[in-house]
Amino acid sequence: MLISLTLASGGCNSCAPFTVRTRVVNETTPSKDMSPISEMPIGPYFDCDNRVAIIDVDGLLLNQNMTGFMSVGTNPVADFRAKLDYASRHGIRAVVVRINSSGGSVTASDIMWRELNAFKARTEIPVVACLMDVGAGGGYYLATAADHIVAHPTTLVGGVGVILNLYDMEKQLENFNIFSQSIKAGENTDLGTPVEPISEEGEAILQSIADKMKHRFHDVISSGRGIALSGDESFLDGRVITSDEALAANLIDTIGYLDDAIELASQLSSCKLTPVVLHRCDDVVQTAYGISPNNPSGSSIISLDIPGIKRSKLPLFLYIWQPDPTIEP
């Protein structure tokens, strides 16, 4: 946009007005080559190719934008993919995936696990997983794709199980004179609905799905950790265990700290590396997993979510350690 300003010269009646022209740019064209990821060096930083990238995986793992009051968060799955893409293109020599998560949805966890395996196969870059407070459920599922797993002495590990949170709200709705009038074609179309108790047949159907997903978790552990599971191991019942118990069960390789994980990554890459943390800029949608929020942010000062009633949040099968039932999508 071109703007012309006509100005009069002060203090001189004989001087004619003059025109100043300037161009104002009020819109930038997004560039596909511009990465949404930036590097933040830790400690002494040297501008060289010998860098180990620290990629954070934190909180609930869902393939959706994390929303809150007056804010729209990013998609954890999209974030993870974007950071791996950055590491593969910018001379990163090793990766430390810093995990602090009790898990998330079965599919989101599996996508991230697959992305990490594909990254390793594509780049041959060594990957070390470092478990922080909690590395359970989908968080541990993801860690099994790493070449080496380091857990802190106080880390809780495990959560090898599946849960689907369903609620029976029939009697509560009756108190408000609310009754279901569903019209359906297919007996189990509303399987798991909160407006009526689940039937024995319906429970058996969902239990079968949960069992299959748990068996997949077992297979991922067996292939990633190189151990044979009988299915009778105590840590396979969904519990979390301490890091020393996890070490004895071969669920992790080393008990240590983040700097130990960084040093190990340097050893695996056969060179001394400078650690950098990869973090996002303002771009939200950069990969195939980036999606727009399904629910508006800041639409209500007080959010009232009744489990099972808010249809924009459908129940999901979860790989998660869930001591608090409010920790769910």
Q: For the chain, give every domain's residue range.
A: 34-166+231-288+301-320
Of 228, 328, 270, which Cα lies nearest the Cα of 50? 270
Q: What is each CA distance from 164 to 19, 55, 200, 209, in whole angstroms?
A: 70, 29, 16, 10
Q: What is the pLDDT of residue 303?
A: 42
Q: What is each CA distance from 138 to 1, 102, 216, 224, in whole angstroms?
A: 51, 7, 12, 14
Q: What is the pLDDT of residue 281?
A: 56
For residues 218 and 31, what is the distance between their CA atoms, to the nearest angstrom? Answer: 42
The whole-number mean pLDDT for each consecutive block of 10 residues of the chain, a chain of 329 residues, reads: 50 51 44 61 62 89 69 77 91 92 96 98 97 97 98 98 90 83 87 89 96 97 93 90 97 96 91 73 51 43 42 74 70
For residues 97 and 303, what is the distance between their CA atoms, to the nearest angstrom? Answer: 33
For residues 110 and 142, what is the distance between their CA atoms, to the nearest angstrom? Answer: 7
C-beta separation of 239 from 158 below 8 A: yes
pTM, full prediction: 0.79
C-beta separation of 253 from 226 below 8 A: no
CATH code at 34-166+231-288+301-320: 3.90.226.10
